[in-house]
Amino acid sequence: MKEQYFKKPLHTPAHLFLSDYYYFITAGCYQKKPYADCDIKKEFLYKTICEELNRYFSELHGWVVLDNHYHILIKLKDAFLLPKLIQAIHSKSAISINKMDKQPGRKVWYDYWDECIRDQEDFYTKLNYIHLNPVKHGYVDDPSKYKFSSYHFYFKEKGEDRLKVLMRNHPIEKLKEGDDF
């Protein structure tokens, strides 16, 4: 039987913690400022996410890092550790980004939002959202042209034809109203 726990601080929506489930996480920079504004910072953030997920025995299934936010699709071994996982990612990356910018102590991260993945349809729709996010935000006109995402891994593992089928069968338009992350 899966564990369930609802946490609801007074000012935020409830969090549903289910161990061994997939989660879609969005995290934004403070005041939407582009703190991950260069390749070195984006690469460091990606490596930090991977290291911390490994430390918390969780799996990364999709990701994208943009200048002022990131999205990850993960499988959490112990969902109760989600707040600590995100805190570790944000703390480590903020210290390093601030060191690179010579801005010690500056607030880098604002908050994060998590959503438990409902089913396989939801999983692939969120994965497509992640891969199309650089297009949505005007970084590139094709997801294959953006290097800070898991698109290239899926392209290599699944092939271009399979990715096209996934995009066609699980369009991001299927995201429910209000899911515009």
Please give the residue range of the domain that contains residue 88. 13-174
Domain count, the chain: 1
Whether 180 is in a domain gets the answer: no
Contacts of 32 (CB under 8 A, 6+ apart): 68, 69, 110
Q: Is there a domain that residue 181 lies in?
A: no
In a domain, 4, yes or no: no
Q: Is residue 5 part of a domain?
A: no
The CATH number that applies at residue 165 is 3.30.70.1290
In a domain, 116, yes or no: yes
pLDDT tens per residue across span 9-46? 554 556 677 888 999 999 999 999 999 999 999 999 99
Q: Which of 4-8, 45-49, 52-56, 77-81 has the lowest mean pLDDT?
A: 4-8
